[in-house]
A and B are shown apart, each in its own frame.
Chain A
């Protein structure tokens, strides 16, 4: 079945450091790929998405490119801030399933220190 694997955390960085959070997926068909972010004490919110191969999603300085050849959707940011501290979830849409549900990775906690 479809699945998402993302790197385990926590990831601890200093402010202005470069961020990469790896995400790979297994899927049949052509799913859409997402990164959701959960700030402390809040629900999840969409950070960015890509709906087809080679698409690049971007938002708030974060980027991720849908790589079909490597089945990856790694999240990157050139210079992180303390306010980026949160849990990041990679997800894919199970469009082929009866319920059309999202399948999430286990989440990666990012802690940015001043």
Chain B
């Protein structure tokens, strides 16, 4: 199956610093990746859709200047949390879809990374 890898798996930073999280598709090309934030008690919130070679599409209420997304290649998307604060502490998860040819270009399945635990002190 398709493999998605995130790095780092956990990071601790000081308030006011920026943190970059990488999401890689290891054995397939991903034109579209999705970034989620998982809150305590496990609810999963879609933050943005990352499209290779173009600007990300952010969900309502997500600050695009705070959560910078770059999808510079077909196998890598990055999420940068800028000027992080303690309220940004969370579990961030990326996912990717396998784009196939044919009338059903996407069957709806996503492949998820392992997640990145961010703690801002």
Spell out A's residues near B (CB within 8 Å).
31-32, 34, 36, 38, 42-46, 49, 51, 87, 89, 92-93, 95, 98-102, 104, 106-107, 109
Contact = CB atoms under 8 A, between A and B. Distances in A.
Contacts of B107: 32, 49, 51, 93
Given A44-B93, A101-B34, A106 B42 contact: yes
B34 A42 contact: no
14 contacts: A32-B108, A36-B112, A43-B115, A45-B112, A46-B109, A46-B111, A49-B109, A89-B44, A95-B106, A100-B32, A100-B106, A102-B95, A102-B108, A107-B43
Contacts, number: 63
B112 A44 contact: yes
B114 A43 contact: yes
Nearest to B42: A107
Contacts of A100: 32, 97, 106, 108
B74 interface: no
B46 interface: yes
Contact of B95 (A44, A51, A95, A107): A44
B42 A51 contact: no
